[in-house]
A and B are shown apart, each in its own frame.
Chain A
């Protein structure tokens, strides 16, 4: 039909080579098809170089571990996660550590080749290459060697104790397919990026990627968990970028799963045949202040000024009114579902009167226009907004109006998305409302250590640094929790950042879907897709 119409316009020449990347499988009626209204089109299927969070590729590609709804790592291709207690972590006299991962047997790639320990070592080599572009590459750099005593055992030698060892290798690459290529070639290898040769060991196999429309994966008939899995024949991930269109599509019962906005939750409360899960995500909305600029240092260099600002902000109103009670107030960057969340963390309490006292005390006195002044400097700063980020801009406006009440002036500068990111990462800003997406492993070092790769704020506290580094380099969960608990309290005491709330993803799921358990990590709620069921 397309061609007919186009031909009528005399444009046949242009449409000659349309179509889609198709390798296998066709839709037939009567199949159990899970229809997902997905909020974006992903870039590539290589889980290490994709810049999107990668739940689609995780339906096909498995790693040693994944994360469940309680923010814990659970083994996938590994039979068990190594710990000191189960004897799979051994510290050697020279201080290096051997970590042994036993792997499942009888696991096969989608093309029938066996999955072995060599594939894991190959994946490590790829990730640590300077060209791999894996976002958390630096976490793998502590590994100095990889051995395969047999096909189903892989041993990593680390140069010390790294507590996040258990969350690495979220995916494994097939050596038999990519082994002859350089890492740079792998990154650019279209058949693996695009589907026609995207093979994994997962419950679903790639079937079709229709550009701009959907990705279709079909049941892996010889999945290693046995013939009962997966229970769904096919999954179609339809790309519907507009949130309102997604909502309309769900409301007209065209999809089984879709994510909506927190403010849309009330609207689907009574949607027949669907249930809305408010999945608490590992992302924390927060207000950051910055002392790298001269003006920023003059204002925020004094911790009392930061405390005063934080105390004046009504986070309860933001969570309960603005976000309609869909989100949970955050007192620390670590999500409460994580075992490392400090339930007794010292929290900032709302206290506008105390805020005024603090500012008076610090020498900031109200000027003629109500804005406080000290040494000729006005207590006025610019909040950097990202264009189109409606939730953050709304929060920024609440902050603006609440700070005005205590004599602090907030102005806005709004930049287009990519331009905003550039400025944000460059550190040339005074304040920002932004979101950090933490992995299931809650290492905070990159964010809050003096030399943290993602610390753009200029803050540096040597004691916090020591505590953070200690938390990163221990295999004892108890010891680690103690350090992280301390770090979470210090963040409050230092008035380092103001966590606002833990973001939620409202996920609308059809009542036909069984075994949905949700997860707020980067694996998303599809981590246990192999066990999902779909009734008619």
Chain B
């Protein structure tokens, strides 16, 4: 296990290096430059200003030079300075990361809880009316464009009913945790919907497999109540494959957060990325994409490890 982990961690180095080259090239070669933010406002711009701006940012240098400079700094842990805010990229990411992690974590929790309940119920009462309805409803989350779904929820729960706030992370002037959690409900729910259907279906089929497994039969033979059998023995074992799928999907949440954060004015990384893209803020784009890639790699590794931990039959070599 230790050797396996070490090997996987070592593999990350060239992988991240490769990613950095691909990402840098793709970002730099995109048409439009950082001066677009200056020129796109419709104001009359003095051309000498554009030149001064490009010179200060160093984007008047050849791409290779820029990459080597960036890499040299990045290896020392310096991700550079944002073009538009003149602030260190690492600071900007760190400021925004908690909001995104919180959103991802809450949507993960929502999805995990709802999917477990739904999946268990569906497996127990297959083809019952409620199974069909609940499964159908959960599928809506997969087939509905995220922004549309989010705006519909805003219209219903905020504008019409007035139960929940529309956007942001807190009411202005309020500092209570309850207020903050209320703001988290809609974006968290919207982001979680992508996974509820998947996980519950997966759990459902996994549970159906497990119910016929020997140890469940043993439990039943011992005279345990069906509820206990399902709740304690079957679900726990059925969750094993689901958990690793969940870990894999965590990385996808990062992608989903881009839209959700924009719709709910959530101050996370996703929105920062969209802003940075329109402004061609190369260092910020690099920083976020690398961090995102790193997260994906880590969670993939985590998924593999979890699978091994939860299922003792798997050994790493």
Q: Which residues of A contact B (CB under 8 A)?
A: 1-3, 5-6, 8-9, 11, 14-20, 27-29, 31, 33, 35, 41, 43-44, 51-53, 130-139, 184, 187-190, 193-194, 210-214, 236, 238-242, 244-245, 248-249, 251-252, 254, 283, 415-425, 434-439, 446-447, 453-454, 522
Per the bound structure, the CA–CA distance linking A214 and B175 in Å amounts to 14
Other-chain residue from B36, B92, B99 in contact with A2 (beta carbon distance below 8 A) = B99
Kindly list 13 other residue pairs between chains A and B, CB separation below 8 angstroms, not including A242-B262, A252-B158, A254-B172. A15-B98, A27-B173, A31-B173, A52-B41, A138-B48, A194-B85, A249-B166, A423-B31, A438-B44, A439-B43, A447-B44, A453-B45, A522-B43
Contact (Cβ within 8 A) B36 A454: no
Identify which of residues 31-86 in chain B touch chain A, using a CB-to-CB cut-off of 8 Å.
31-33, 36-49, 52-53, 56, 81, 84-86
- Known A245-B166, A453-B45; judge A2-B84 contact (CB<8 A): no
Q: Which residues of A contact B42 (CB under 8 A)?
A: 283, 434-437
Complex CA gap A405/B158 in Å reads 46
A34, closest chain B residue (CB): B172
Min CB gap A386→B, angstroms: 8
Q: Are B86 and A41 in contact (CB under 8 A)?
A: no
Cβ < 8 Å to A, chain B residues 103-154:
105-106, 108-109, 151, 154
Cβ distance A297 to chain B, nearest Cβ, rounded Å: 23
Bound complex: CA A27 to CA B174 (Å): 8
Nearest first, the 6 A-B pairs at minimum CB distance are A212-B267, A418-B32, A418-B36, A437-B42, A419-B31, A419-B32
List 15 A-B residue pairs with CB atoms under 8 Å apart, sorted by A's residue number: A6-B105, A15-B97, A44-B84, A135-B38, A136-B43, A193-B87, A210-B267, A213-B267, A238-B167, A242-B262, A248-B167, A418-B37, A418-B40, A420-B40, A421-B40
Residues of chain B within 8 A (CB-CB) of A9 are 101, 105, 108
Bound CA–CA A29/B174 (angstroms): 8
Give, as a whole number of angstroms, the nearest-CB distance from A349 to chain B: 27
Known A9-B105, A238-B265, A418-B280: A194·B39 in contact at CB below 8 Å: no
**Out of B32, B46, B109, B267, which one reaches A421, CB within 8 Å?**
B32
- Inter-subunit contact B175/A27 (CB<8 Å): yes
- B105 and A8 contact, CB distance less than 8 A: yes
B interface residues, Cβ below 8 angstroms from A: 30-33, 36-49, 52-53, 56, 81, 84-87, 91-92, 94-99, 101-102, 105-106, 108-109, 151, 154-155, 158-159, 162, 165-169, 171-173, 175, 177, 180-181, 262-268, 271-272, 275, 278-280
By beta carbon, the residue of chain B nearest A416 is B32
User: Shortest CB–CB separation between residue B42 and chain A, in angstroms?
Assistant: 4
A248 contacts B95, C-beta separation under 8 Å: no
**Distance between Cα atoms of A5 and B102 in the complex (Å):** 7
Is B44 within 8 A of A446, CB to CB? yes
CA A212 to CA B271, docked complex, whole Å: 8
Report if A131-B56 is in contact (Cβ < 8 Å); known contacts: A193-B86, A249-B167, A453-B44: yes
Q: Cβ of A241 and Cβ of B262 under 8 Å apart?
A: yes
| Cross-interface CB contact of A18 among B84, B85, B97, cutoff 8 Å | B97
**Distance between Cα atoms of A67 and B112 in the complex (Å):** 55
B262 to chain A: closest residue by CB: A242
Q: How far is the CA of A29 from the CA of B98 in the complex (A)?
A: 27
Q: Which residues of A contact B175 (CB under 8 A)?
A: 27
Cα of A133 to Cα of B50 in the assembled complex, Å: 7
A contact residues around B32 at 8 Å (CB): 416-422
Knowing A133-B49, A135-B44, say if A419 contacts B166 (CB, 8 Å): no
Q: Complex Cα distance A8/B112, Å?
A: 14
Question: Taking CB as reference atom, which chain B residue is nearest A28?
Answer: B173
Instruction: Enumerate chain B residues within 8 angstroms of A29, measured Cβ to Cβ.
Output: 173
A188, B53: Cα distance in complex, Å: 11
Taken together as a complex, chains A and B put the C-alpha atoms of A138 and B175 apart, in Å, by 47
Q: Which residues on the A side are within 8 Å of B40 (C-beta)?
A: 417-418, 420-421
Chain B: CB-nearest residue to A423: B31
Instruction: List B contacts of A27 (CB < 8 A).
Output: 172-173, 175
